Amino acid sequence: MGSIRLDRYLADVHIGSRKQIKEYIREGRVRIGEAVVTRGEEHLDPEQDTVFFDDKKLEYSKQRYIMLNKPAGVVSATKDGLSKTVIGLLKNVPVRGLSPAGRLDKDTEGLLLLTDDGPLIHQLIAPSKKVDKRYEVHLKSALSDEALRRLEEGVEIGDETKTLPARARRLPEDEKGCPVIELIIHEGRFHQIKRMLHAVGNEVVYLKRLSMGPLELDPTLPPGTFRYLSATEITALKDGGGR
């Protein structure tokens, strides 16, 4: 791919703002191979050279992988005439080409991955790839053992086929006294969890996605905030997000 400047490389791998990157380089925290480099103008070839930041090897990618803790009230779309979109929450991010990996309903909160890596999106959302999507589901009424078993086996929700087998377990009640379950599904049908609970005679009062494959929602991200994925998270998603 040819050579690029070190400061450009570090910006592409999102280790910090331009100002922070300048400081990191000045402080001698960046190496190309064995050599500490203190000038951002230095050139390197991302395909040939290995770059370290604080002795940690960096993985070069121009693609963007962003974890958003989606708040209620915004839609999981890139454009919407009426409502605020998740893309609108990504302050100071070049958003061209970014799409959410699957949609969360307007009132659902939690983990949403936004990326311009189309094949990864496909790998994460295709039901055939069986990637776990784990949700915290707060309910209107207690769930019987029979209802739990039916959710796990697959239920009729008005589509051509039943839902795929899922996993469900009870969690402690929430602060309002509502029953809570954890539900792991592999598909992403429209309003799927709400329709599954409706099919077993219950109702969802609050829904939050906690993880998608190996990617866990960062508990330090308040709703409405986001961060870039680490190189380790990206590798784990590519390796483990879909079989």
CB of 133 to ligand URA, least distance (A): 7
Q: Tell me, by CB under 6 A, how many residues bind ligand URA.
A: 8
Beta 180-185 vs 167-171: how paired, if at all?
A: antiparallel
Torsion angle (degrees, nearest 10) of CA 240, 221, 23, 97: 60
One-letter amino acid at 135 equals: Y
Q: Out of 108, 115, 163, 202, point to the residue binding ligand URA (CB under 6 A).
A: 108
Angle formed at CA 142 by CA 137 and CA 144, multiple of 5 degrees: 105
Interface with ligand URA, residue 134, by CB under 6 A: no
Which residue, 14 or 138, is less far from ligand URA as judged by CB?
138
Interface with ligand URA, residue 208, by CB under 6 A: no
Question: Distance (Å, rounded) from C-alpha 6 to C-alpha 16?
Answer: 13
Interface with ligand URA, residue 207, by CB under 6 A: yes
CB of 235 to ligand URA, least distance (A): 26
Interface with ligand URA, residue 138, by CB under 6 A: no
Dig out the tokens for 200 from the structure: 């077993």
Partners of 51 in beta bridges:
32
Interface with ligand URA, residue 202, by CB under 6 A: no
Q: Any residues with CB less than 8 A from the CB of 188 and at least 6 apart, and which?
A: 102, 103, 125, 127, 133
Question: Distance (Å, rounded) from C-alpha 242 to C-alpha 140?
Answer: 33
**3-state class (DSSP) for residue 73:** coil
Dig out the tokens for 191 from the structure: 């309003």
Q: Out of 193, 217, 229, 234, point to the residue binding ligand URA (CB under 6 A).
A: 193
CB of 67 to ligand URA, least distance (A): 16
Q: Out of 57, 122, 130, 191, point to the residue binding ligand URA (CB under 6 A).
A: 191
Task: Name the one range near ligand URA by CB under 6 A: 114-122, 167-175, 190-198, 225-233.
Answer: 190-198
Q: What's 31's DSSP letter?
A: E
Which residue, 5 or 189, is less far from ligand URA as judged by CB?
189
Please say if 105 is a catalytic residue. yes
Residues annotated as part of the active site:
105
Binding site for ligand URA (CB under 6 A): 104-105, 108, 191-194, 207
